[in-house]
């Protein structure tokens, strides 16, 4: 099945089973805004718990905060968002559609990459076992031609972005003959800058109203609370502050479901360090964050680092952790070495000293910062994409199964009485009453046992227990594993222990 079709199925599946709904759907929806349903919210909470505990529980020197969405407007002037949080946009005059110029060019680069990979795949098929990919890449005329074009375009694009040269971005679009996907024409406007912050007004009279912004990142709430936390928590450098919360961006190109939203959630951690140690800490956090992702068990081939070509003027290193989505490798998390830019700016704009006095060296300095910033919704989407499978069974049926990592699954255990009589529902309910304090359990007595298993597979429930007549005699049940579909007879009294070992967040934290 084409990857595009797989993605459509995942989106439909999310809606059908109560994971994600379009926002305001009965009013025909609101662009790039989504609601999480009854199962989606459970899984999202599990993702957040996994992240929060890996930061705050596992590190003695990381604490959390929860700052407001509304903040003093000068914060956004100091951070640079008022002047520079822009995307270069371009309109197609025929379709009247608006695009991000940088995204159009990145898509064009990806097309060259696709051409190269197609050539390689064709040659691999032709030459079989004797195929030497490295040699082919270095000698095939077609591959060399595509690679040269790709690299030249990449260099030109990088320079235009670094220089903020909007005219050059338009020229690249024209030279590459990039067409609007809707109208198919090259009738483009000039490229313009567009600020991504939403604004509103605070106050009760027109005269005293103050223009404020919905925060486009949670990080600034951490920076402006740095002194409060450092002093009240008696924190010593190096230390970190973590936060999970909503962020808002008026994205021009909002597409690919919950990948790019106008209201989304971030999990950010700012790690405050001594100047000069930042590149070591950057390397450490890269490793720690990649391990966090890979502990989910989807395989190392699903992830890669993408080092930034264009560094923000205040950063001295930056990388993305990318995940293999059905539409290619895409950024899920950013790790940035932000120097002392943010704290210095807040020092300048607020007039308050934000220095750290190091008792060991007797010096004062403005700390440097390593930031790890991950989108909850993108994480959610990556897990859904990697977990979704349509399996052809031996009996000719198709089983749709979500292989969710058990600690993140919304429901951990389904409790199913074989029949709705003979005291089986009562025993099943008593098992749920016992286990509900530990895990999210679902009771289901409707339809055949096979159909009930399918329903649980489709929502990613790692285990089902079936209560049958034997259960009444010897207090055992069958425990069915979602992925292997194997069943084993276990004592009811052992269920809690067996499950804890695999479905709790603690079980995955212990592997880090
Ligand atoms: N404080 C740094 C910062 O905000 P960013 O790269 O702009 O950095 C960090 O965003 C992460 O937030 C991204 O890697 C992505 O997972 C998530 N994110 C950013 N914009 C998003 C959007 N419009 N919709 C969903 N997630 C988004």
pLDDT in tens, 27-72: 999 999 999 999 999 999 999 999 999 999 999 999 999 999 999 9
Distance 360 CA to ligand 1 centre (A): 37
Residue closest to 299 by CA, chosen among 283, 332, 323: 323
Is the Cβ–Cβ distance between 441 and 497 less than 8 Å?
no
Q: What is the mean pLDDT of residues 145-159?
A: 94
CB proximity list for 338: less than 8 A, separation 6 or greater: 312, 314, 315, 368, 369, 370, 371
Instruction: Report the alpha-carbon distance of residue 26 to residue 33 in Å, rounded.
Output: 14
CA 432 to chain centre: 33
Model pLDDT, residue 253:
72
Measure the CA–CA gap between 438 and 505, rounded to whole angstroms.
Answer: 12
Q: Which atom of ligand 1 is nearest to the CA of 373?
A: 9
Q: What is the pLDDT of residue 279?
A: 95
Burial 108-143 (b: 16+ CB within 10 A, else e): bbeebeebbeebbeebeeeeeeeeeeeeeeeebeeb
What 3-state class would DSSP assign to 400? Answer: strand
Percent of the chain with pLDDT over 90: 88
> Looking at residues 277-293, what average pLDDT do you find?
97
Q: If you measure from the C-alpha of residue 264 to the centroid of ligand 1, how many angstroms do you get, rounded to a whole number? A: 8
Decide the pairing of beta strands 441-443 and 413-417: parallel
For residue 432, the model assigns a pLDDT of 97
Q: Name the strand (E) or helix (H) holding 328.
A: strand 328-337
pLDDT in the model for residue 240: 98
| pTM (predicted TM-score) | 0.89
* Model confidence band, residue 153 (pLDDT cutoffs 50, 70, 90): very high
Measured over the CA atoms of residue 458, residue 464, residue 466 and residue 472, the dihedral's sign is negative
Question: For residue 221, what are the contacts with CB-CB under 8 A and spacing of at least 6?
Answer: 65, 67, 68, 71, 215, 243, 245
Backbone angles phi, psi at 119, to 5 degrees: -60, -45
Task: Tell me the pLDDT tens digit for each residue of 344-399.
Answer: 999 999 999 999 999 888 999 999 999 999 999 999 999 999 999 999 988 888 99
Instruction: State the virtual CA torsion across 227, 232, 236, 242 in degrees, nearest 10.
Output: -70
Residue 415 banded pLDDT, cuts 50, 70, 90? very high
Position 162 scores a pLDDT of: 82
pLDDT at 482 over 80: yes
Six-digit token pair at 107? 């898509």
Q: Quote the tokens at residue 280.
A: 């070591």
Q: Closest Cα to residue 354, out of 225, 233, 217, 242?
A: 225
The answer to whether 274 and 368 are in contact (CB under 8 A) is: yes
Assess whether pLDDT exceeds 90 at residue 231.
yes
Cα(280) to ligand 1 centroid in Å equals 24
Measured in Å, residue 126 CA sits from the centre of ligand 1 at 42
129: confidence class by pLDDT, cuts 50, 70, 90: confident
pLDDT at 312 over 90: no
Provide the pLDDT for residue 228.
Answer: 96
pLDDT surpassing 90 at residue 313: no
Torsion, Cα 453 441 51 254, to 10 degrees, reads 60
> 10 Å Cβ neighbour count for 436?
13
Pairing status of strand 199-202 against strand 328-337? unpaired
Q: What is the mean pLDDT of residues 463-473?
A: 97
What does the pLDDT look like over 172-188, one tens digit per residue?
A: 999 999 999 999 999 99
Ligand 1: list residues with CB < 6 Å: 217, 219, 249, 251, 260-261, 264, 266, 268, 331-334, 371, 373-375, 377-378
> Out of 85-94, 99-108, 247-256, 393-402, which region has the weakest mean confidence (pLDDT)?
247-256
d(CA 264, CA 256): 14
Q: What is the pLDDT of residue 88?
A: 93
Q: Which residue has the higher pLDDT, 207 or 322?
A: 322
Q: How many CA atoms lie within 13 A of 285 on its CB side?
A: 33
- pLDDT, position 204: 73
The better pLDDT of the pair 404, 360 is held by 404
Residue 5 pLDDT grade (very low, low, confident, very high; cuts 50, 70, 90): confident
Dist. CA 419 → ligand 1 center (Å): 49
**Residue of 286, 320, 339, 325 whose CA lies nearest to 80:** 339
Give the pLDDT of residue 112: 94
pLDDT of residue 3: 78
Residue range 252-271, pLDDT digits in tens? 876 789 999 999 999 999 99
| Average per-residue pLDDT for the chain | 94
DSSP classification of residue 381 = H
For 333-342, what is each residue's pLDDT tens digit? Answer: 999 999 999 9
Pocket test for ligand 1, best of 247, 254, 308 (most atoms within 8 A of CB): 247
Atom number, ligand 1, closest to the C-alpha of residue 379: 16
% of the chain beyond a pLDDT of 70: 99
Q: Is the dihedral of CA 444, 447, 452, 458 positive or negative?
A: negative
> d(Cα 388, Cα 400) in Å, to the nearest integer?
7
What is the rounded distance in angstroms from the CA atom of residue 167 to the CA atom of residue 190? 7
CA 333–ligand 1 middle distance (angstroms): 7
**For the CA of 378, the nearest atom of ligand 1:** 16
What band does 310 get if pLDDT is binned at 50, 70 and 90? confident
- Mean pLDDT, rounded, for 428-445: 96
Mode of pairing for the β-strands spanning 98-100 and 86-91: antiparallel
> Distance between CA 148 and CA 144 in Å, rounded?
6
**Residue 206 pLDDT greater than 80, yes or no:** no
For residue 100, the cross-strand partners are 89
Compute the average pLDDT of residues 246-251.
96
Mean pLDDT lowest among 307-316, 352-361, 467-476:
307-316
Say if residue 2's pLDDT is above 80: no
């Amino acid at each position: 099945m084409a990857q595009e079709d797989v993605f459509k199925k995942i989106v439909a599946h999310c809606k059908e089973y109560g994971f994600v709904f379009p926002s305001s759907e009965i009013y025909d929806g609101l662009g790039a805004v989504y609601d999480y349903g009854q199962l989606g919210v459970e899984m999202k909470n599990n993702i957040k718990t996994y992240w929060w505990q890996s930061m705050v529980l596992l590190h003695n020197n990381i604490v959390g905060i929860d700052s407001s969405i509304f903040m003093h407007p000068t914060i956004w002037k100091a951070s640079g968002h008022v002047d520079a949080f822009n995307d270069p946009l371009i309109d197609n005059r025929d379709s009247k559609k608006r695009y991000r110029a940088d995204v159009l060019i990145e898509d064009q680069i990806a097309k060259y990459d696709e051409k190269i990979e197609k050539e390689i795949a064709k040659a691999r098929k032709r030459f079989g076992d004797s195929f030497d990919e490295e040699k082919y890449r270095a000698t095939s005329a077609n591959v060399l031609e595509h690679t040269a074009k790709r690299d030249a375009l990449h260099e030109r694009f990088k320079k235009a972005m670094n220089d903020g040269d909007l005219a050059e971005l338009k020229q690249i679009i024209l030279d590459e003959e990039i067409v609007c996907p809707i109208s198919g024409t090259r009738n483009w406007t000039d490229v313009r800058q567009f600020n991504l912050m939403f604004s509103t007004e605070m106050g009760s009279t027109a005269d005293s109203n103050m223009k404020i912004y919905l925060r486009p990142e949670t990080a600034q709430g951490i920076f402006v609370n740095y002194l409060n936390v450092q002093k009240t928590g008696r924190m010593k450098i190096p230390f970190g502050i973590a936060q999970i919360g909503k962020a808002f961006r008026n994205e021009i190109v909002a597409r690919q479901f919950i990948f790019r939203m106008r209201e989304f959630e971030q999990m950010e951690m700012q790690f405050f360090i001594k100047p000069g140690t930042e590149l070591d800490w950057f390397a450490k956090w890269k490793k720690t964050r990649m391990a966090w992702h890979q502990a989910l068990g989807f395989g190392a081939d699903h992830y890669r680092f993408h080092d930034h070509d264009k560094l923000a003027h205040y950063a001295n290193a930056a990388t993305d952790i990318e995940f293999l989505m059905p539409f290619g490798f895409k950024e899920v998390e950013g790790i940035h070495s932000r120097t002392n830019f943010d704290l210095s700016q807040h020092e300048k704009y607020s007039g308050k000293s934000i220095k750290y006095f190091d008792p060991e060296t007797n010096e004062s300095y403005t700390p440097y910062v390593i930031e790890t910033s991950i989108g909850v919704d993108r994480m959610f989407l990556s897990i859904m994409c990697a977990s979704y499978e349509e399996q052809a069974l031996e009996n000719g049926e198709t089983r749709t199964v979500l292989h969710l990592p058990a600690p993140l699954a919304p429901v951990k255990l389904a409790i199913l009485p074989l029949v709705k009589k003979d005291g089986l529902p009562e025993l099943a309910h008593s098992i749920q009453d016992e286990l509900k304090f530990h895990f999210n359990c679902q009771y289901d007595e409707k339809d055949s046992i096979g159909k009930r298993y399918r329903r649980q597979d489709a929502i990613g429930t790692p285990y089902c227990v079936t209560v049958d007549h034997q259960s009444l005699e010897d207090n055992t049940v069958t425990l069915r594993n979602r992925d292997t579909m194997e069943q084993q007879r276990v004592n009811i009294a052992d269920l809690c222990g067996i499950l804890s070992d695999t479905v709790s967040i603690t079980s995955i934290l212990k592997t880090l």
